[in-house]
Every structure is written in C-alpha cells, then in structure tokens.
C-alpha cells in the first residue's frame, strides 16, 4: 500500500485565516448594518501600474505573431529581466551581483518553501518567533522540525524570540544552528534591521558555517537611510546568504506572480556550490515564468514604472503612518509601520490576541490578525496592515480611537 509522507500528517491545519473569516461572518450575520473594515489583509489592493500593464499588453501581442512568439524560456529567467534586476536592485546600491546568480521564479513563497530541497534534513533550523509561517511549515514537510509540543512548538526548531525588549530583533542563538531564516523588514512585526545588526548575523553565519535565508520581500518599504535593502550590502554576506525578493508587494504582483532568488557563486559548503545545486533543482522542477510576466516585471525598472510603483508604496506607507500615529496618540503601544506595511500593536489591558480581535470587531467592526497566529511570542500582539484604501484606513483609526478612548 502506498505510504504518504508522514511529515505532512504532523502539520496542524492552518486555522488562522479560516477562524478569522468564521468570526467575521458570524459578526456580519448578527450585525448586518455594521460596516466591516479589513485591516488584516496581507494583499495589495491598488491596481498594477500603467507601465506594467502596457508591457504585458505589448508582450501578449508579441506572443500572437510567429516572428515574436516565445516558447520555453530559460528556467532561471530571461536575461533582460535578470540584467534589469542586477543593475537596478544591486548595482545602484553598490553591490555586484552577476545575472547567473539571479533565479527568476513565480514567488518568494515558493522559493523560501522550495529552497529546503538542497539542504540535508538533519540540519538545525532557526526561525524568528513570531514568524511568516511558510518557513516553519515547509521544514515540517521536509522532516526537519521534529515533533510538535503544545505550548512549546517544534522540538528540532530553534525559536528566536522577537520581543519589544529586543526591539523585535532576534538574538544570536546560543546553540549551533545551520539554517537561519531572517525576514527584514519583518512580517509580522513590521520592523527593519540596521546594517550593524545584520552584520552580527553575517559574522555569526560565516563563523559557524551556517546559511542565512534572507527574505527581503518588503525591501521596497524601507524609508530609513541606514537600513540595508539587500543582505549583500553587508561585507561577507556572499559566503553565507541567499536572498529572496518579490515583485508582489513592491509592484502589486500578488496576482501576477514574479519573484527572484539570489545565490552568489561564492556560497559553497563542503566544496559544493549552492548556486549550481539550485540551478539543477530549478531546471529539473520548473520551466520558468511566463514571458509576458517577465516583461511586466522588467517594466517595474523603467523610468515610468519605477515612478508609478513608488507612488503606490508611498500610498501604503502613508496609510501605515495614519494607523501608527493615530493609535499611538490614542494611547496604544504600536511598533513597525515605518519601513514596512505592517503595524504590530500591543493588545491593551493584557488581552490575548484573540480577545482583542473579538473586542475590536465588536466595538469598531475593524478586522486585524491576531499575533498568536504567527507564533507563541506573537501572543498579546495584533497585526494591522496598510493595504486598505486611505479612506477606510482613516475611518478604521477614527473608530478605534473613539471606541477605546471613551
């Protein structure tokens, strides 16, 4: 009889967004005339910039003519896109990344999930707590996480608490770890990391021969000058780090799907090149991203595209400011939202994340995400996002202030 992968059976069902939807639906049924404002969404809402749409239309038309039709492309992406990435995302920041170190894909979720294919299952994994759940769940699937213990987490995963006492930045692990997931600007805590702090991790990884998996999906939201947009701005990172980037939040591609992963040629363990291994993995398991989409991603770097994308990010960052400043003035403890679309709110009066979820919904009709859904150290916190409209964001903040100050 067929045996299924037992690691998948160990995974607890992902209830977070199902539970949220259930509670919101119940509320709507009981209160049909009370409008809901969703500040829990982790998806962009503004349409694709015109430059991107124009590029997609042009590329689609090319596909309809024999002279310009394209079939399979290179698994790692067309040169025109990888060159645009190398020039704009790296060279302009003083970082030399070769186009053969860039692998275009359909998403940072797939890449951060799939990268484990090239690592042995007995490596020790370290994650921030709270954390983007994909890092943990994909290691469970791979058999790297051990057993789940209620109130403790996975037995073989090293959790690095990100608390307000350490400014939501992880501390270097006391025990040796092999694979370190870092995500900055952070989801869910909404904070960025300075070059000085990130340097500590690069030094640690080089000394301990570990790899850093650096998720920079929110890089475009950085506003502070000292914050690195790429881990390769830190000397020594090319021998210890893989970086994941995405057009999803940067350019509104959540439904369009395009991202890339950088694996420097210097990244070698035991004489084996991770760049070559990933290239082998990708060329075996995927056939690249559609030509039309890669042309759309290329347009992100055009003069017009870059301007339009910046306008959208500024719009979201302004929403983040409205939430952050509005709630802080009303006496809430708020973090993040300066270099990120996420605001991390301390729940008032010692409420648990879910208690606050229910109270907020009941009093204001505003929906957010309970921090406990991101890990044990997310308990007592709440994530709000800046991806709704400015009007709704202002309304939500006004309602919260009115309800909680009275």
Ligand X SMILES: Cc1ncc(COP(=O)(O)O)c(C=O)c1O
- Contacts with ligand X by CB under 6 A lie at 42, 107-109, 132, 183, 187, 215, 217, 246, 248, 254, 259
Select 183 or 189, whichever has its Cβ closest to ligand X.
183
Show the tokens assigned to 8: 């998948």
Q: Phi/psi zone of residue 319: left (φ > 0), alpha (ψ -120 to 50 degrees), beta?
A: alpha
Residue 254 beta carbon to ligand X: minimum distance, rounded to whole angstroms = 5
Q: How far apart are CA 385 and CA 368, in angstroms?
A: 8
Smallest distance, Å, CB 271 to ligand X?
31
Between 258 and 334, CB nearer to ligand X:
258
Q: Return d(Cα 178, Cα 185) in angstroms, integer.
A: 22
Around Cβ 306, how many Cβ atoms within 10 Å? 15
Based on CB atoms, which residue is closest to ligand X, 214 or 232? 214
User: In terms of Cα–Cα distance, which of 190, 160, 193, 194 is closest to 174?
Assistant: 160
CB of residue 107 vs ligand X: minimum separation in angstroms? 3
Residues 6+ apart with CB under 8 A from 340: 185, 186, 187, 190, 191, 192, 218, 221, 320
Q: What's the token pair of residue 358?
A: 């229910």
* Closer CB to ligand X, 188 or 365, in the complex: 188
Minimum distance of ligand X from residue 18's CB (angstroms): 17
Residue closer to ligand X by CB (options 123, 254) is: 254
| Residue-by-residue DSSP string for 202-218 | HHHHHHHT-EEEEE-TT
Task: Specify the residue, 170 or 365, whose C-beta has the smaller distance to ligand X.
Answer: 170
Q: State the residue number with the nearest CB to ligand X.
A: 107
Q: In angstroms, what is the minimal distance from the CB of 183 to ligand X? A: 5
Query: Minimal distance in Å, beta carbon 310 to ligand X?
Result: 19
- Min dist. Cβ of residue 189 to ligand X (A): 11
Burial group, residue 379, by CB count within 10 angstroms (0-12, 13-18, 19+): middle
State which residue, 384 or 400, has the beta carbon closest to ligand X.
384
Residue 345, H or E segment: strand 342-346
């Amino acid at each position: 009889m067929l045996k299924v992968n037992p690691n998948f059976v160990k995974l607890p069902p992902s209830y977070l967004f199902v539970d949220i939807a259930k509670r919101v639906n119940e509320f709507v049924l009981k209160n049909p005339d009370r409008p809901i404002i969703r500040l829990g969404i982790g998806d962009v809402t503004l349409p694709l910039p015109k430059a991107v749409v124009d590029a997609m239309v042009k590329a689609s038309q090319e596909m309809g003519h024999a002279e310009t039709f394209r079939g399979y492309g290179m698994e790692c992406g067309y040169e025109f896109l990888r060159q645009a990435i190398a020039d704009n995302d790296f060279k302009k920041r003083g970082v030399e990344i070769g186009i053969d170190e860039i692998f275009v894909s359909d998403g940072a979720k797939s890449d951060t999930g799939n990268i484990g294919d090239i690592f042995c299952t007995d490596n020790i994994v370290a994650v921030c707590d709270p954390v983007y759940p994909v890092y943990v769940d994909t290691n469970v699937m791979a058999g790297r996480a051990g057993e789940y213990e209620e109130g403790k987490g996975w037995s073989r995963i090293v959790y690095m608490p990100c608390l307000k006492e350490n400014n939501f930045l992880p501390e270097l692990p006391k025990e040796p770890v092999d694979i370190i997931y870092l995500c900055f600007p952070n989801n869910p805590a909404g904070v960025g990391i300075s070059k000085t702090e990130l340097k500590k991790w690069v030094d640690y990884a080089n000394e301990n021969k570990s790899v850093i998996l650096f998720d920079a999906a929110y890089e475009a939201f950085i506003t502070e000058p000292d914050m690195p947009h790429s881990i390769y701005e830190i000397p020594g990172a090319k021998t210890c780090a893989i970086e994941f980037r995405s057009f999803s939040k940067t350019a509104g591609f959540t439904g369009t799907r395009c991202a890339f992963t950088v694996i420097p040629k210097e990244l070698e363990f035991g004489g084996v090149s991770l760049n070559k291994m990933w290239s082998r993995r990708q060329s075996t398991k995927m056939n690249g991203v559609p030509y039309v989409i890669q042309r759309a991603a290329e347009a992100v770097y055009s003069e017009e595209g870059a301007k339009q994308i910046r306008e959208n990010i500024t719009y979201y960052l302004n929403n983040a400011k409205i939430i952050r400043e509005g709630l802080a003035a009303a006496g809430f403890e708020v973090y993040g939202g300066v270099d990120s679309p996420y605001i991390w709110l301390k729940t008032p009066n010692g409420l648990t994340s879910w208690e606050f979820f229910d109270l907020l919904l009941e009093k204001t009709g505003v929906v957010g995400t309970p921090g406990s859904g991101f890990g044990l150290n997310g308990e007592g916190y709440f994530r709000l996002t800046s991806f709704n409209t400015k009007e709704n964001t202002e309304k939500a903040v006004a309602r919260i202030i009115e309800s909680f100050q009275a």
